[in-house]
Amino acid sequence: MSDSISRIGNVMALKPSNLPVNPELSPAKPFVRFENVSKRYGTYTVLDNLNLDIARNEKVSIIGPSGSGKTTVLRMLMTLERINDGIIWVDDEPLTHMQKNGKMVPATNAHMRRVRGKIGMVFQHFNLFPHMTALQNCMEAPISVLGLSKQEAEARAAELLDMVGLGDKKKHYPIQLSGGQKQRVAIARALAMRPKVMLFDEVTSALDPELVGEVLNVIRKLGAEHDLTMLMVTHQMGFAKEFSDRVCFFYGGKITEQGPPDQLFGNPQNERTRQFLSAVLEAG
Amino acid sequence: MTWDWSVVWEAFPYLYRGAIVTIQATILGFAIALILGLCFALIRQSPNRIVSASVTEIVEFIRSTPLLLQVFFVYFVGPQFGLNISAWVAGVGVLGIHYAAFCSECYRAGIENVEQGQWEACTALNLSPIRSWRVIILPQAIPPIVPSLGNYLISMFKDTPVLAAIAILEMLQQAKNFGSDNYRYLEVITMSGFFYLVFSLIASAIVQAVSYWLNRRYHLL
């Protein structure tokens, strides 16, 4: 029930994102906002003047061919990449910039650290700490960043590992876990920081096919049981269709088409989207 | 000339005193090399180009000039610039700094071998830079390079006779003095060689044990 209510809220929050936006005029304030964001490597433009609003608790999938800039969107939001132009806002605060003497200046590391505390990320290659057990992986940041006591952190980490179905693997090291298990630990580790936004960067791409399901099930469960804004780059079209409130198709550093999954998959308007979808579907 | 055991016993106290000096210089020098080498390696990672480039140049300079020259420079030229230190401090200090330059290259290789994804995970979890280095990056960077660091321990040990040049009575100098006083070199020089061999073997075994233990401790094997 609460899920359906939040979905209605999300639909209301949707608006054409190709228009230049002004936070003061926005009818429903988005939780994450990319405002005229560009990213270039030398002369190569990865993202070109991106405008994207994501509502609180909205689940957005990003699809598109490789090199279209979709992973870069997540990496910029996680501050793993600096942007060249524009501003990214999170929860009404600029992430990439800060106010100084009434002007917007590029954010200091301290400012970025504070704001990005609201964001968690799960990576394609897990990036678990190999020298720590599953439990320790989930305890390190809550203790050293959030200041939790060891007992609190351990209880919470254990709870999260139970939630992702790894209650019996707490003392295992990453090397002793399968890919799917590693990725579930990585999800628990990110959740331990109590993020409001979760970023999933091709989280099933490095997994054997039979392990994809267990990871997607955890993400489904998160979507259903937690108030989380989720942004995922994925090649799992079936999952994107079933799980997301909105799907964005990226091509050449721009959002070529976006909309509710039924519309984007069922009746794509853009020629490039059609080509991409038919190629993906053909590949099975 | 035949081997004379009585000379061995007579020379033993001299060589023993020298051996103690040699071992002290090695341990102290290597402690400096390990710590200073890590500092060099960390400063080289600084995002500030001027800082990292100057440390790179310093390391390059130290690596490219002979140890003996550096010892002479600090001990004989240093006083002209107001650097009045004892032979022991100059000798051990230079030994440590010289090998710090080599160790820093080792550390650098270890640090660069840690996957970029580990850094990204640190950022995503909002760990502070110091915490990231201390708890995530260095525990993965150092265990694999312990054998190479151990090689420098043994090299440094074998370089300690350089200290004789500034009148530090390390073992080989004691052996030589004994030999020239008694006109017998065979026993003392052989004994010194034997000592260097034994110490090197022991040090190498310790390095292997430390390497094995660290890799197990951090589950990197």
Give the pLDDT band of residue A7 (cuts 50, 70, 90). Answer: very low
The number of distinct structural domains making up chain A is 1
Q: How far is residue A123 from each of residues A56, B60, B124, B125, measured CA to CA in Å?
A: 22, 38, 10, 12
Contacting residues for A203 by C-beta, under 8 A, at least 6 apart: A122, A123, A124, A183, A186, A187, A215, A219, A232, A234
Answer whether residue B93 shows pLDDT above 60.
Answer: yes
Give the pLDDT band of residue A157 (cuts 50, 70, 90). Answer: very high
Answer whether residue A19 shows pLDDT above 80.
Answer: no
- pLDDT for the residue numbered B184: 85
Among the listed residues A176, A200, A174, A175, the one whose alpha carbon sits nearest the alpha carbon of residue A187: A200
Q: Which of A26-40, A192-206, B59-73, B106-120 has the lowest mean pLDDT?
A: A26-40
Q: Note whether B126 contacts A116, CB cutoff 8 Å.
A: yes
Q: What percent of chain A has pLDDT over 90?
A: 76
Contacting residues for A245 by C-beta, under 8 A, at least 6 apart: A7, A10, A11, A58, A59, A60, A260
Tell me the three-class secondary structure of chain A, residue by residue. CHHHHHHHHHHHHCCCCCCCCCCCCCCCCCCEEEEEEEEEECCEEEEEEEEEEECCCCEEEEECCCCCCHHHHHHHHCCCCCCCEEEEEECCEECCEEEECCEEEECCHHHHHHHHCCEEEECCCCCCCCCCCHHHHHHHHHHHCCCCCHHHHHHHHHHHHHHCCCHHHCCCCHHHCCHHHHHHHHHHHHHCCCCCEEEEECCCCCCCHHHHHHHHHHHHHHHHHCCCEEEEECCCHHHHHHHCCEEEEEECCEEEEEECHHHHHHCCCCHHHHHHHHHHHHHC
Which of A116, A119, A175 has the CB atom closest to B219's CB atom? A175
Answer whether residue A15 shows pLDDT above 80.
Answer: no
Q: Is A27 or B4 the better-scoring residue by pLDDT?
A: B4
- pLDDT for the residue numbered B221: 65
What is the average pLDDT across A205-218? 91
What is the average pLDDT across B68-88? 91
- pLDDT for the residue numbered A284: 63
Burial of B43 (0-12, 13-18, 19+ CB in 10 A): middle
Q: Could you state, in order of their start, the residue ranges of all structural domains in chain B? A: 5-217
- DSSP-derived secondary structure letter, B220: -
Burial of B125 (0-12, 13-18, 19+ CB in 10 A): buried
- pLDDT for the residue numbered B96: 96
- pLDDT for the residue numbered A66: 87
Instruction: Name every residue in A having a CB less than 8 A away from some CB of B.
Output: 78-80, 113, 116-117, 119-121, 123, 125-131, 140-141, 144-145, 173, 175, 189-190, 193
Q: How many CA atoms lie within 13 A of A30 on its CB side?
A: 26
| A45 within some domain | yes
Q: Which CATH architecture has domain B5-217?
A: Orthogonal Bundle (1.10)
Contacts with A116 from chain B: Cβ below 8 Å: 123, 126
What is the average pLDDT across B110-127? 95
Q: Note whether B219 contacts A173, CB cutoff 8 Å.
A: yes
Residue with tokens 């290659």: A125
| A171 within some domain | no
Q: Note whether A141 contacts B118, CB cutoff 8 Å.
A: no
Query: pLDDT averaged over chain A?
Result: 88
Answer whether residue B24 shows pLDDT above 50.
Answer: yes
Contacts with B128 from chain A: Cβ below 8 Å: 113, 144-145
Contacts with A131 from chain B: Cβ below 8 Å: 139-140, 218-220
Among the listed residues B134, B58, B127, the one whose alpha carbon sits nearest the alpha carbon of residue B97: B58
Q: Which of A127-131, A190-194, B102-106, B172-176 has the lowest mean pLDDT?
A: B172-176
DSSP per-residue letters across B113-168: HS-HHHHHHHHHTT--HHHIIIIIIHHHHSGGGHHHHHHHHHHHHHHGGGGGGGT-
Asked if B17 and B174 touch (Cβ cutoff 8 Å), the reply is: yes
- CB distance from B123 to chain A under 8 Å? yes
| A56 within some domain | yes
- CB distance from B214 to chain A under 8 Å? no
Nearest-neighbour CA in chain B from A65: distance (Å):
23
Crossing angle between the packed helical segments A179-191 and A150-163, to the nearest 10 degrees = 130
ipTM, two decimals:
0.86
Answer whether residue B33 shows pLDDT above 70.
Answer: yes
CATH code of A237's domain = 3.40.50.300
Domain that holds residue A213: 2-118+195-283
Contacts with A140 from chain B: Cβ below 8 Å: 125, 127, 135-136
Answer whether residue B41 shows pLDDT above 90.
Answer: yes
What is the average pLDDT across A178-205? 95
- CB distance from B117 to chain A under 8 Å? yes
The nearest alpha carbon in chain A to B118 belongs to A127
- pLDDT for the residue numbered B186: 86
Contacts with B216 from chain A: Cβ below 8 Å: none
Q: Distance between CA B110 and CA B91 in Å, rounded?
A: 29
Contacts with A173 from chain B: Cβ below 8 Å: 219
Tell me the one-letter amino acid at B150: G
- pLDDT for the residue numbered A102: 85
Q: Note whether A78 contacts B218, CB cutoff 8 Å.
A: no
pLDDT, one tens digit per residue, over B119-166 is: 999 999 999 999 999 999 999 999 999 999 999 999 999 999 999 888
| A16 within some domain | yes
- pLDDT for the residue numbered A24: 44
Q: Distance between CA A258 and CA A244 in Å, rounded?
A: 12
